[in-house]
Chain A
Amino acid sequence: MDEILTEFIAETRETLETVAGELVAWEAVPQDRTRLDGIFRFVHTVKGSCGFLDLPRLERLSHACEDALADVRADRRVPDAMLVDAVLAIIDRIVELIDALEAQGVCPSGDDRDLIEALAERRPEPPTALLRCPSEPEPDLCNEGEPPLPTAPASTPRAPSRSIRLQIDLLDRMMAGISDMVLARNELARRLREISSDPGVDAAFERLSTSVAEMRDTITRTRMQRIEALFSGLPRLLRDVSAELGKTVMLEVDGADVELDREMIEVIRDPLTHIIRNAIDHGIEPPGARLELGKPAIGRLSVAARQAGNQIVIEVADDGRGIDSERLVQRAIAAGILSADAARGLSAAARLALIFEPGLSTAQEVTAISGRGVGMDVVKSNIERIGGVVEIDSRPGSGLKLTLRVPLTLTIIPALTIEAGGLTFALPRAAIDEIVRVAGESVRLESLGGALIANIRGRRMPVACLARIIDAEDAPEQSTMLVVLKPAGGEAYALAVAAVHDHEELVIKPAAPVVMAAGIYAGAALPDNGRPILLLDPAGLAVAGGVSWSETARIEPEVPVAAIEAVPTLLFRDSDGVERGIRLSLVERIEDIPAQSVKMSAGRLRVVRDGRLLPLISGEGLDGREIIRILRISDGEIALAYAIDTVRDIVDLTTSLTPAARPGPVAGVALVDGQPVEMLDPHWLFAEGGAIPLAAEPERPICLLTGDDGSWTREILRPLVESNGYRVLFAREPSPSDVALVIACDAPEPAGTRSPVVRLRWQRETAGAPAGSIYRYDRPALLDALKAGLAQGGHR
């Protein structure tokens, strides 16, 4: 049954028990106003809940009763025995319906008009009613068309209640008690190890230990509640807010059955409400504007919760206008939060993160709903207070997605213990990106104007040294471990520590105000060793370590996402004995085929599989094999076979590629565990294996890449341009006159060119970008431009 319904039933029963006494007293002295109040409150509460829970029959009953009692309270009506009877009859009926509701899960249908009329009709002429009543024994308890419900509640078989209501602090005391037990158990374990060699004692202790652990799990679970308790209020909120703003919004809710710590639900309630108000107010456009933009008039808002490991992820997405980060920056400058200089250096993520600055709002006008200066900064600090993070993903023009990641329970946070300056601290795992050791070429520390910068596989980020933050006397060279932290809304940075110890689930309690005042702690915990440990606050550390976002943004160049993306890669030894790798997502399956199914036909090797001829790509070394192992690879349409020797491993490849010298099946070389591995160029494979043979090298038209010639241009843009049939030249190289297409990367148009020019911009937003420019990851537009250039170039 619905949790809210269960709660409603439990609550109604509970109040009923206290009201029962009042009812009897009121019956004896109908004029007693004080008795009336309790009964009035009861029917009033029932009425409110029923409207909310969509139980119209109960609502009508309680409403009528409330009206009558309100009249009495307002001295518009003199209570008499008739009224008392009618009210009692209605309350009895409510009890019956509640019982039925609990037993069957639905409220039985039926007619209560007689009961309601019994309340009302005698109002104008009570004397007649008085006369009539005794002659008709309980006329109002039965309906004519329907079998009467059992009238005496006591005789109704009521299922024994399976739930009780508890005070949270009782649960807290249980939790504290079990924590004590765990500590005592650990202490006992230490002592036993020192003195005991008795297997009997050890076995008994083991049993005790197991049941303590089980008990801890169970008690932890008692604090859990379905997130439905939070989501159930959303439709109403949405209705009210959108009505006030004259917008129509459709709500999609998913994952209401996810369980979360009760206390956590309360902490999330306000931030979630705020985010939703914001989405409707600022995100979703008025219906007219939406139609003009080609969007459906009805806005969409989706709220979804899911559990991911030890975290609960709550996503709120709308299809509104997203965040105008340009305007955000302007406001930040106007509000004095940011200097115009600093603003220029901000990365896209840092621009968006401005939304979390106190006192910033992109709302043009202050409305009753939002835009009053309490905003996303409060959301962020509330979520961070419970060890969570807020992520923001804005697609200007098409919507905004906010992701709240919070730990499963308030009390237990997965943490990593680290050491610096001889002290041990904990870091919330939710904020940790990765942990690396400073060693070799791939991870090293660079010094820049007195500040440290970590270079982790080509990704640069500022370093905060924990030993320095806590004024420890560690030599800097002792901090050789880097923990890459990503505080909510902020930029990633590396925290240098002396050692990384262990993963631990910590019971986090708020630390005393004098401790929190330090600004770098998020709470205190007592791990199993019994020594208190403090949980560090990644955002606070960033500020204390001098690497907060504004400074970060200035030194961190925009890192192309593709360069650091972890690519699941299948490593194999090729048929010619060379170690190679291919993106795992392209591999459909691995098969062993008899050598005789390989045929040389129509000018190339082909293999018959499943009644189809697949092109077979192979190096040397197929001769003399009876069984050939092939990778079936596919781009979704074209399938082909690639002959290999053996499969080695599947790894997540994060290192960047050194491009191959010549176009061919190999796109470049990557280092895997220190060994070079050739990575196949899937594009080349499909181009080669597909139906359309590409034009030979000398006939390719030339594409000139100007402006930035950094790794993005060389490693990401260039292969795309080449795969679209161009020969790539860079501006520094002497360029011939017959350039078919010029691509200007974040640069002005080169002077004096007669060739068509495509200008790429780095930011997704069009604001401030040259007209006609293409966002660098707008693949369709880029491909169109490349095609157009090819067509034109071909005509020359």
Chain B
Amino acid sequence: MNGLFLVALIAGERVVLATEEVESVVELEAITPVPRLAPHIAGLTALRSRVLTVIDCRTALGLGMSPREGVLPAIVVNIEGHGYGLLVDHVEDVATIEGEMAPILASLQPGWAVAGRGMVTLEGDALLLVDPAVLVAGPALAAA
């Protein structure tokens, strides 16, 4: 379970993502809203010549809504050939984590319970390892 992890603040919670699942960290400027979509889809944006689908992680977790205007930090992930930008509160750093991933001890909020893969320890703090695919799929899956 040793490896590099991206530490980010999502919906006020410090979490980590496996770096091999993360393409890059970017700042998004303009999001084109797209009607008739699930509420956690903030819209589309352009990253160089690619179109990214922007995911509002707060909404995906059932925890309200992120700001969708201005310069927004986002984590770019690629799931089944499609690029997504995950809107996060803040991206902290990349950290090396050693030690095994532990099962989650507490009973989490429903959204986090589905999105969390397990628990890792960084500098003594327990952090949730998040599955980006669950955030992309959104509350429909999170509620399941």
Contacts and interface: CB of A to CB of B under 8 A. Distances in A.
Given A470-B35, A470-B36, A517-B37, A532 B49 contact: no
A452 interface: no
Interface residues of A, number: 32
A180 interface: yes
B59 interface: no
A176 B49 contact: yes
B45 interface: yes
A544 interface: yes
A544 B137 CA distance: 23
B57 to A, nearest CB: 14
A514 B41 contact: yes
Interface in A508-548: 509-515, 517-521, 524-526, 530-534, 544
Contacts of B46: 183, 526, 530-532
B49 A514 contact: no
Nearest to A514: B41
Given A469-B36, A518-B36, A518-B37, A180 B48 contact: yes
A401 to B, nearest CB: 36
B30 A531 contact: yes
29 contacts: A176-B50, A177-B49, A179-B49, A180-B48, A180-B49, A421-B35, A470-B35, A470-B36, A471-B35, A472-B35, A512-B53, A512-B136, A514-B37, A514-B38, A514-B41, A514-B53, A515-B34, A518-B36, A521-B34, A524-B44, A524-B51, A525-B51, A526-B46, A531-B30, A531-B46, A532-B32, A532-B44, A534-B44, A544-B36
B51 to A, nearest CB: 4
Contacts of A519: 36
Contacts of B30: 531
Given A514-B136, A514-B137, A532-B44, A526 B49 contact: yes
B45 A532 contact: yes
B82 A512 contact: yes
B38 A517 contact: yes
B84 interface: yes
Given A514-B136, A514-B138, A423 B53 contact: no
Contacts of B80: 513
Contacts of B137: 514
Contacts of B34: 515, 518, 521, 534
Contacts of A470: 35-36
Given A512-B84, A526-B46, A532 B38 contact: no
**Max chain B CB contacts within 10 Å: which of A177, A183, A524?**
A524
Contacts of A509: 51
Interface in B16-31: 30
Shortest 3 CB-CB contacts between residues of A and residues of B: A470-B35, A532-B44, A179-B49
A515 B35 contact: no
A385 to B, nearest CB: 15
B37 A515 contact: yes
Contacts of A521: 34
B91 to A, nearest CB: 22
Contacts of B136: 512, 514
B33 interface: yes
Contacts of A517: 37-38
A513 B55 CA distance: 13
Contacts of A530: 46
A321 B52 CA distance: 49
Contacts of B45: 532
Nearest to B37: A518
Nearest to A534: B34
A469 B37 CA distance: 12
Contacts of B35: 421, 423, 469-472, 518
B36 A526 contact: no
Interface string A558-583: 00000000000000000000000000
A530 B32 CA distance: 11
A499 to B, nearest CB: 17
Nearest to B38: A514
B52 to A, nearest CB: 8
Nearest to B35: A470
Contacts of A520: 36
Contacts of A423: 32-33, 35
Given A423-B33, A526-B49, 12 more contacts: A183-B48, A472-B35, A509-B51, A511-B44, A511-B51, A511-B82, A515-B34, A517-B37, A517-B38, A526-B46, A531-B46, A532-B32
